Amino acid sequence: MKTDRNSSSLVTTIITVVAFFLILAVFGKSQAAGLLKPKNGDSSAIAIKSHDVSVVINNGFSKTEVDQVFTNSGDNDLEAIYSFPLPRQASLSEVSLWINNQEVIGEVFEKQHAKAVYEEQKANGNSSALAEKDDFKTFNVSVYPVKAQADTRVRLVYYQPLNIDMNIGRYVYPLQEGGVDDERIAFWSVDSAVKESFTFDLTLKSAQPIKDVRLPGYTQQAQIEQLSAIDQKEVGNTDIYHARLDFTEGANLSEDVVFYYRLDDTAPARVEIIPYKDTGSATGSFMLTLTPGASLARITEGVDWVFVLDKSGSMGGGKIQTLIEGVSKVIGKMSPADRFRIVTFNKSADDLTRGFITATPENVQNALSTVNGITAGGGTALHAGLKLGLKKMDDERTTAMVLVTDGVANIGPTRHADFLQLVDAQDIRLFTFVIGNSSNRPLLDNLAKASGGFAMDISPGDDIYGRILQAKSKVLHEAFHDVEVTFSGGKIDELTPASPGTLFRGQQLVMFGKYTKPGPVTISMKAKISGAEHEWTSTAILPETDTDNPEIERLWALSAIDEIMEEIRLHGETEKNRNEVIQLGTEYSLVTDYTSMVVLDEQEMERLGIQRPNSKRVSQERTAQEKREASPVKSYRTDNDSSGMFKGAPSPGIGSGPVGPWLLILLAGCGWLVRRKS
């Protein structure tokens, strides 16, 4: 593939494209998290009384806990259905309901069985809750009864791995939906109001030194401080930050909360393994994080660019106007030596430029006149848009495509295989920018991966400038292609993802696996840079027993489930792969496409003979979390030499650590601020 070549001027173009779509995401209207209430029905007396979020980020993964109280001001017992956008790579693993002032933890069953149990409990007037996953869009939690003139308390917990990108970590608490589910929009209204208090409390603990943290959009409201070792009873070189938002007189669950943290520029390229192996267990689990630091050269050769833009109905209102203004700015910044095409799609696709054109002043003016006539409406014929965008390629020139959408394919072919066939047949690198929540991330991720490109999530709460810099660095440099990770020793099994694909400059690679032989292992990573193969190695020790991070088991299971779901979306469901998801979901107590979590009274659980594996697992996780909270932050870095796993790699040439100082200087202009506590 011709995927290692690019042009400097068109790199500037793509960055401008990213910028205007980030702005588009900010100004576009969309639904929010909150209570679902039927349209044209009786007015519901249920409301969200309080919504308290607690987040802990510690060594590569986060725990998010949502404690929510519903209140019913009416005279009848009612059902509450709370919905929130699906976080990326999140394992919803705890749903608790307070019954008779006692917390009861939910258990996972096959989806239809869980629904039947919940409906039976509801019909009998018993307290119950049900957590379900709606494909790639939302988690929905049903609670019954929210008693008349009373409050009902529910607790949700999910875990997710977090990647460092260009030395920057990013956590998103998703609240703003993408407005892409037409059936849901037609039937439900969403009450996103919180009547009394909304709090967001985040603790960041890092074994790598932290330079700055920030909560964009909340400069005035956020309380941010660096805690001293005395505050946390810590010893050693650890960094702990605390960020908090308090809204005590009502709030609205309509905007994402995005938290950034930037590692110090001395943070090295490294290999980290977080293990979990219970006492006496034959099998252990681990999370492997590779942070490359090898040199990736700057690319200067020319390319053709195709911009494929979504103009479906969900892009209406302020979004489409911003699209028009953004395209105008993009075209105006192109060099006359560059070539571009603009393809739009809704219920069908249209080539606005009628093929590639050079960015001469006359062509620019003609394109602007055409763009100004764009209006939003109709469905989303994503396949037609991609197919048209892939036509008229010039084999003598490197071509890249930028796909930007906030919707899902609902007209024409919708199977993943149909889209991948389009990309596989072309020599093109595809960059997908996923606007907002509830988008079809699985499809867009697969398309980018298959072409050797990348997919980037864009939240309305993002720091626009910072995200632009991250994208710019990737497009400007070569990448690690055909990445392969192997182990010698440890009897490693069930490594996921099995095929990492392409790794761009500044990105981390996060993988999960199982091992049955504790002791030393050698980790090897192979990759191609500009067609030349390179290999790097590092060593580590897998422990006989380590119970500090039991959550790793759930994260491994979720990653394995994601791979199976990718196979299902690509080749269709079979009884075998469906049962594999159900088995993993029930064994590791995860809400998936085929499993749900149900909470019911302890006596009812005993009457129905329901086992309590999740209750036991939650107890282990909470014990470990209490232990970690009272202990120093532990480093899981396994490479001890100064150059990390990339010893012997090509000369870095970009400064110390995985990110050069030029980027850090630019980031300093983004307003990174922290109030330090002495």
**CATH number of the domain to which 501 belongs:** 2.60.40
Is residue 32 a contact partner of residue 177, using CB atoms and an 8 Å limit? Answer: yes
Is residue 495 a contact partner of residue 483, using CB atoms and an 8 Å limit? Answer: no
Query: CA-CA distance, 267 to 492, in Å (whole number)?
Result: 28
pLDDT of residue 547: 97
pLDDT of residue 99: 94
Are 47 and 131 members of one domain? yes
* 166: alpha, beta or left? (left if phi > 0; alpha if psi -120 to 50): left
Are 348 and 461 members of one domain? yes
Number of CB atoms found within 10 A of residue 358's CB: 14
DSSP 622-639: HHHHHHHHTSPPPP-B--
Are 603 and 535 members of one domain? no
pLDDT of residue 315: 66
With respect to residue 209, please indicate whether it lies within any of the assigned structural domains.
no
Q: What share of the chain is helix, strand, coil (3-state, %, to 5)?
A: 25, 35, 35
With respect to residue 262, please indicate whether it lies within any of the assigned structural domains.
no
Structural domain span for residue 57: 34-203+591-621
pTM of the model: 0.86
pLDDT along the chain (678 residues), means of 10: 44 46 45 82 84 94 97 94 91 95 96 97 96 92 96 97 89 81 76 96 92 88 79 55 94 92 86 95 96 76 75 65 58 70 91 86 81 81 91 76 77 87 79 75 85 78 61 75 92 92 89 96 92 90 96 97 93 95 97 97 94 96 94 85 45 35 37 36
pLDDT of residue 556: 97
Segment 515-518 long-range contacts (CB within 8 Å, at least 24 positions apart): 515/275, 515/277, 515/283, 515/284, 515/285, 515/286, 515/490, 515/491, 515/542, 516/282, 516/283, 516/284, 516/490, 516/491, 517/489, 517/490, 517/491, 517/542, 518/277, 518/284, 518/490, 518/542, 518/543, 518/544
Are 649 and 595 members of one domain? no
Are 68 and 189 members of one domain? yes
Are 458 and 540 members of one domain? no
Q: Looking at the 3D structure of the chain, how many domains does it have?
A: 3
pLDDT of residue 76: 92
DSSP 487-524: EESTTEEEEESS--EEE-TT--EEEEEEESS-EEEEEE
Q: Is the peptide bond before 145 cis (omega within 30 degrees of 0)?
A: yes
Query: CA-CA distance, 264 to 241, in Å (whole number)?
Result: 14
Give the residue from 452, 476, 500 where a domain finishes.
Answer: 476
Is the CA virtual torsion 480, 484, 489, 491 positive or negative?
positive
E strands of 459-602, at which residues? 480-488, 492-496, 501-503, 509-515, 519-529, 532-542, 595-600
With respect to residue 387, please indicate whether it lies within any of the assigned structural domains.
yes
Are 38 and 179 members of one domain? yes
Are 99 and 148 members of one domain? yes
Are 453 and 311 members of one domain? yes
E strands of 292-324, at which residues? 303-310
Q: What number of residues does the chain have? A: 678
With respect to residue 250, please indicate whether it lies within any of the assigned structural domains.
no
Are 111 and 161 members of one domain? yes
pLDDT of residue 25: 44
Q: Is 93 helix (H, G, I), strand (E, B) or coil?
A: strand
Task: Determine the angle formed by the axes of helices 441-451 and 416-424, rounding to 10 degrees.
Answer: 20
Element housing 611 (H / E): none
Are 468 and 350 members of one domain? yes
With respect to residue 89, please indicate whether it lies within any of the assigned structural domains.
yes
Q: Is 67 helix (H, G, I), strand (E, B) or coil?
A: strand
Residues whose CB falls within 8 Å of the CB of residue 418, separated by 6 or more in sequence, listed in order: 383
Q: Is 374 helix (H, G, I), strand (E, B) or coil?
A: coil
* Sheet of 257-263, strands arranged across: 164-165, 168-173, 257-263, 210-214
With respect to residue 220, please indicate whether it lies within any of the assigned structural domains.
no
**CATH number of the domain to which 361 belongs:** 3.40.50.410
Cβ burial, residue 662 (10 Å; 0-12/13-18/19+): exposed
Query: CA-CA distance, 156 to 355, in Å (whole number)?
Result: 51
pLDDT of residue 590: 97
Question: How close are the terminal C-alpha atoms of the chain, in Å?
Answer: 54
Give the residue from 411, 444, 476 where a domain finishes.
Answer: 476
With respect to residue 226, please indicate whether it lies within any of the assigned structural domains.
no
Fill in the DSSP letter of residue 300: -
With respect to residue 626, please indicate whether it lies within any of the assigned structural domains.
no
pLDDT of residue 677: 33
Are 507 and 641 members of one domain? yes
Residues whose CB falls within 8 Å of the CB of residue 146, separated by 6 or more in sequence, listed in order: 46, 70, 71, 72, 77, 78, 79, 80, 152
Give the residue from 457, 476, 495 where a domain finishes.
Answer: 476
* 623: alpha, beta or left? (left if phi > 0; alpha if psi -120 to 50): alpha
